[in-house]
Amino acid sequence: MSTQATDMVHDEHDDHGPAKGIGRWLFSTNHKDIGTMYLVFSLVMLFIGGSMAFVVRAELFQPGLQLVEPEFFNQMITMHGLIMVFGAVMPAFVGLANWMLPMMIGAPDMALPRLNNLSFWLLPFAFTMMIGTLFMDGGGPNFGWTFYAPLSTTYAPPSVTFFIFAIHMMGASSIMGAINVIVTIMNMRAPGMTYFKMPMFCWTWLITAFLLIAVMPVLAGVVTMMLMDIHFGTAFFDAGGGGDPVLFQHVFWFFGHPEVYIMILPSFGVVSHVIPAFSRKKLFGYNSMVYAIIAIAILSFVVWAHHMFTVGMPFAGELFFMYTTMLIAIPTGVKIFNWISTMFRGSMTFETPMLYSIGFVILFTIGGLSGIMLALAPVDMVYQDTYFVVAHFHYVLVPGAIFGIFAAVYFWLPKWTGKMYDEGLAKLHFWVSFIGLNLTFFPMHFVGLAGMPRRIPDYPLQFADFNMVVSLGAFLFGASQLIFVYVLIKTLRSGEKAEQLPWDGAEGLEWTLPTPAPYHSFPTPPKVD
């Protein structure tokens, strides 16, 4: 896709610049401001969720109960999961979408700016309420981020009602964000930009948005059923009243499995920009990449019960979900092979975004391979609910989602701020993160295979040494994120001026904009041919 450089000096738009003071943020309808708010919010949540993981790892540093009670430990693992999924990863992706989609498709802004404002401003309230439950009588949610009934209904602390309400608000926010993305992409592409000329990030987000619209209502449904069971005498999940606790799991994972793709697809998009840029080559197999994403998205609706191999499904069910899950490996493999082929015989350099993308490909592949192992129902009887699973999903989520986000931030930061980040420090951030991450999550495979169940505040002695290594790795990984914050601050305060095209291999409409990107992206659509 070649683009015509557009002259972006629009004097008549000067009076449309940002409003002054707090009003700029509270009432903002500007995609960049809202994107920034999403990203900052998600960074704050990353640190809150991370400090909860810190509590968990500190308690598990040695066998025995040292720091927290089991009751509080359960609240920490629950909150850690909920905050990372709904507070850190998802808002970060929406933030990136806000910043990049209009710039990539040649639009002035998102299609529905007021909805955009509302969908962001729901989040601080939702999370204040959710975190607030920790201070309520009986403590916060303590039933794991998967909140299986009846532990989360009949046996839940009273604060569960607030948790349900918070989930409803997050869901509403996600659905609005998704509608906005779909409307923007479908209607506001620059003339000449057909679907199959669209940048990969737009493709991945388009599919993600459809997934969100499909499954967030299911999540809303399942928490509403909980609410009814708790307060209004229904018995959806109570066998005593004719219900079924396993129904909860089916509904939850019907949301939950597409959800994990929601947390990875936009990263696929980011990496598909970064790797070609630093290989100075076009993305290999653009079309097959698009088809692979669509295939993954469709398959994600028919694999949910692989999270439930031990609930006692009929044989045919078990077989069906094992086979469909294995199928997902094929389009996923296509993507990985395409990225590697893009690198192959390129002219590579290794700036921080590229390091994060390569880290992404390697570690995500490891997580994908352990996923194939987990897909095998008979062996999953052993893996299920052990640290092997914890290792698996952290390998796909941390390098998958988080590394993808870091790659995106370092890649586009010069365009956003007009300033260059400190490459040396950023590389340090990458290497410390990379080592910390592997030290944290790799040994979890071992303790899991040796038989350590997940979600326990204390463990038998045979797991002691690896747990200590894991905890040390986790502290290192956590600390390395402070470097990230420092790099950001340093860039904003004293970063060198960035060029219009800071990466010589990068392509796309966003790079045709001046640096820093103007407040309104493309008041007149550029032409794409």
Query: Out of 17, 18, 138, 514, which residue is the one contacting another protein (CB under 8 A)?
Result: 138
Q: Which of 133, 184, 272, 370 is catalytic?
A: 272
Query: Could you confirm whether 261 is annotated as catalytic?
Result: yes
Q: Which two tokens stand for residue 477?
A: 């990984």
For the CB of residue 204, give the shortest distance to another protein in the complex, in Å.
18
Check residue 366 for interaction with another protein (CB under 8 A): yes
Query: Could you confirm whether 280 is annotated as catalytic?
Result: no
For the CB of residue 360, give the shortest distance to another protein in the complex, in Å.
12
Beta carbons within 8 Å of 160's beta carbon, 6+ residues apart: 141, 152, 153, 226, 230
Query: Could you confirm whether 486 is annotated as catalytic?
Result: no
Closest residue by Cα to residue 455 from 47, 86, 76, 62: 76
Neighbours of 196 (CB within 10 A): 10
Query: Could you confirm whether 273 is annotated as catalytic?
Result: no
Residue that the structure tokens 């947390």 belong to: 263
Query: Could you confirm whether 272 is annotated as catalytic?
Result: yes
Check residue 370 for interaction with another protein (CB under 8 A): yes
Check residue 310 for interaction with another protein (CB under 8 A): yes
| Window contacting another protein (CB under 8 A); options: 199-207, 283-291, 477-485, 516-524 | 283-291
Closest residue by Cα to residue 237 from 327, 326, 143, 362: 143
For the CB of residue 336, give the shortest distance to another protein in the complex, in Å.
7
Buried b (16+ CB within 10 A) or exposed e, 342-355: bbeebeeeebbbbb
For the CB of residue 384, give the shortest distance to another protein in the complex, in Å.
6
| Window contacting another protein (CB under 8 A); options: 86-94, 140-148, 422-430, 493-501 | 140-148
| Window contacting another protein (CB under 8 A); options: 69-77, 203-211, 265-273, 390-398 | 69-77
Nearer to another protein, 448 or 495 (CB): 448
Residues 184-223 within binding reach of another protein (CB under 8 A):
none
Query: Out of 372, 420, 425, 476, which residue is the one contacting another protein (CB under 8 A)?
Result: 372
Closest residue by Cα to residue 322 from 304, 301, 296: 304
HSE on the CB side for 460, CA within 13 Å?
7
Query: Out of 17, 18, 23, 70, which residue is the one contacting another protein (CB under 8 A)?
Result: 70
Peptide bond into 518 cis (omega under 30): no
How many whole angstroms separate alpha carbon 506 and alpha carbon 473?
Answer: 34
What track of x and - describes contact with another protein for positions 411 through 440 (by CB under 8 A)?
A: ---------------------------xx-
Check residue 233 for interaction with another protein (CB under 8 A): no
Q: Which of 31, 168, 189, 335 is catalytic?
A: 335
Residues pairing with 453 in the sheet: 386
Query: Out of 50, 63, 113, 221, which residue is the one contacting another protein (CB under 8 A)?
Result: 63
Q: Which of 32, 80, 415, 520 is catalytic?
A: 80
What track of x and - describes contact with another protein for positions 332 through 361 (by CB under 8 A)?
A: -xx-xx--xxxxxxxxxxx-------x--x
Q: How many residues bind another protein (CB under 8 A)?
A: 104
Check residue 228 for interaction with another protein (CB under 8 A): no
Neighbours of 151 (CB within 10 A): 16
Nearer to another protein, 97 or 343 (CB): 343
Beta carbons within 8 Å of 97's beta carbon, 6+ residues apart: 35, 177, 181, 205, 266
Query: Could you confirm whether 497 is annotated as catalytic?
Result: no
HSE on the CB side for 11, CA within 13 Å?
0
One-letter amino acid of 247: L
How many whole angstroms separate alpha carbon 119 and alpha carbon 209?
Answer: 14
Query: Could you confirm whether 145 is annotated as catalytic?
Result: yes
Query: Out of 384, 417, 440, 491, which residue is the one contacting another protein (CB under 8 A)?
Result: 384
How many whole angstroms separate alpha carbon 106 and alpha carbon 103?
Answer: 5
- 314 in the Ramachandran plot: left (φ > 0), alpha (ψ -120 to 50) or beta? beta
Query: Out of 449, 476, 483, 501, which residue is the one contacting another protein (CB under 8 A)?
Result: 449
Residues pairing with 496 in the sheet: 420
Check residue 317 for interaction with another protein (CB under 8 A): no
For the CB of residue 183, give the shortest distance to another protein in the complex, in Å.
31
Nearer to another protein, 77 or 104 (CB): 77
For the CB of residue 161, give the shortest distance to another protein in the complex, in Å.
14
Check residue 468 for interaction with another protein (CB under 8 A): yes
Nearer to another protein, 117 or 159 (CB): 159
HSE on the CB side for 396, CA within 13 Å?
20
Neighbours of 36 (CB within 10 A): 18
Query: Could you confirm whether 480 is annotated as catalytic?
Result: no
Peptide bond into 314 cis (omega under 30): no
Nearer to another protein, 139 or 269 (CB): 139
How many whole angstroms separate alpha carbon 203 and alpha carbon 293?
Answer: 8
Q: Which two tokens stand for residue 295?
A: 């295939």
Query: Out of 113, 451, 516, 523, which residue is the one contacting another protein (CB under 8 A)?
Result: 451
The string of DSSP letters for 283-315 reads: PTTHHHHHHHHHHHHHHTTS-GGGG-TTS---H
Nearest-5° Cα angle at 167, 161 to 170: 145
For the CB of residue 45, give the shortest distance to another protein in the complex, in Å.
23
| Window contacting another protein (CB under 8 A); options: 26-34, 40-48, 265-273, 372-380 | 372-380
For the CB of residue 462, give the shortest distance to another protein in the complex, in Å.
5
Closest residue by Cα to residue 501 from 427, 410, 414: 414
Active site amino acids: 80, 109, 145, 173-174, 257, 259, 261, 272, 306-307, 332, 335, 454
